Amino acid sequence: MLRWNDTLGVPPMRMQMGRYGDLSGEIVRSKTTGAGKKIDVQYFYVSKDAWLMAEGWLKKGYELFQQFGREAKNEKRDFMLPRPSSGLNGFRSSMVTYPDAMAMSRALLRELKAPIRSGGQMEDLIVTDEVGGFWSEHSERVTMASWAAATKIRQHIIKRWGRWRPSVDEEYVKTTKMLVLGFRVYNIRFCIKPKAFLLLAERV
């Protein structure tokens, strides 16, 4: 899981969609990564199987991400997230600030609704509106780690997934990729089951 400040050091040119549909990228500048620090580059991964309602969202989203960058002529920027246009159909040239990111995350969470149970009533997919009002850019890391612990994922895997114990070792990087991609699939599949989701919501 990326920290908020990690996005400030992820150039889009260092992101790519793999041949199997997984997304990966390099963090070249952060609190723990960059020139003069112990770790020069860190890697992050997003599994193609990390979806809730639309299986092909990652590929389509990445295509839009690239398209908006080309249209705004800032695809060679040194940060990941530009501010959205007023119509939410493109990028501006300036970088998203922390308050911007928090507001956008909360707005997105409010939009994530679907008819989960029988009857067709629209329900919140991730968190309720009340919880979403307190959501910050650190909440994802805390929440996902709590959900993982509730599903009996081992602590050393959670620490790898959250990069709480980074390393420059090549074998570490390879193993972390496999653990992250496999873990996210398991965790998300568990959390979208209505009964499991309600259980986790009570615990978190």
Cα(174)–Cα(180) distance, integer angstroms: 10
In a domain, 184, yes or no: no
> Mean pLDDT, to the nearest integer, of 35-59?
82
> Angle at which helices 194-203 and 139-150 pack, to 10 degrees?
110
Which residues on adjacent β-strands are paired with residue 74?
none
Give the per-residue SS3 of 91-127: EEEEECCHHHHHHHHHHHHHHCEECCCCCCCCEECCC
In a domain, 186, yes or no: no
The whole-number pLDDT of residue 192 equals 47
Cα(66)–Cα(136) distance, integer angstroms: 26
In a domain, 85, yes or no: yes
Range of the domain at 58: 1-96
DSSP class per residue in 6-41: GGGG--GGGEEE-TTS-EEEEE-SSSSBSTTSSBS-
Average pLDDT, the chain: 77
Residues 121-148: tens digit of each pLDDT: 787 777 777 777 777 877 777 777 777 7
Residue 186 DSSP label: H
In a domain, 92, yes or no: yes
In a domain, 53, yes or no: yes
- pLDDT band with cut points at 50, 70 and 90 for residue 39: confident
Judge if pTM exceeds 0.75: no
In a domain, 140, yes or no: no
In a domain, 176, yes or no: no
- pLDDT band with cut points at 50, 70 and 90 for residue 203: very low
Strand order in the sheet with 15-17: 15-17, 23-27, 42-46
Number of domains in the chain: 1
